[in-house]
Amino acid sequence: MNRRVMAAILCAWVLSLIGVAAWAQTSAPPSAVFKPDEPFGEVMTGDTIGFQRVAALPNRDGKVVGKWMVKVDGNWRETKAPVGVVR
C-alpha cells in the first residue's frame, strides 16, 4: 500500500474513535445525577411518613429512586427493613 492509502485509513480510524467517544459521552448520565447514599431535595411528606429522592432523574425504567422516611420527635429518619428468618 502506498502512503496515501495508509494515511486515509489512519484518518478514518481516528475519526471513528472520536465519534465513538463523543457518542459515549452524550449517552452516559452525568456522575452527579445518581449517588445512592446522598439525598436529593426535600422530603415529600404527609404528617409523619415521607419519601426522599436520592437521584435527580428517574432511572432507566422511569422509576424514581428514593427512600422512605418517618418523622420521630420532629426529625426525619430513614426507615430500615427488618432482617430475620420467618418460619
Contact 39, 46 (CB under 8 A): no
Long-range contacts of 41-50 (CB under 8 A, 24+ apart): 43/69, 43/76, 45/69, 45/71, 47/71, 50/76
Q: Map out the domains of the chain as residue ranges.
A: 1-30, 31-77
- Is there a contact between 57 and 40 (Cβ–Cβ < 8 Å)? no
pLDDT in tens, 20-72: 988 887 765 555 555 555 666 677 777 888 888 776 666 677 777 778 888 88
- pTM listed for this prediction: 0.44
Are residues 35 and 65 in contact, defined by beta-carbon separation less than 8 angstroms? no
Extract the C-alpha cell encoding 65: 429512586
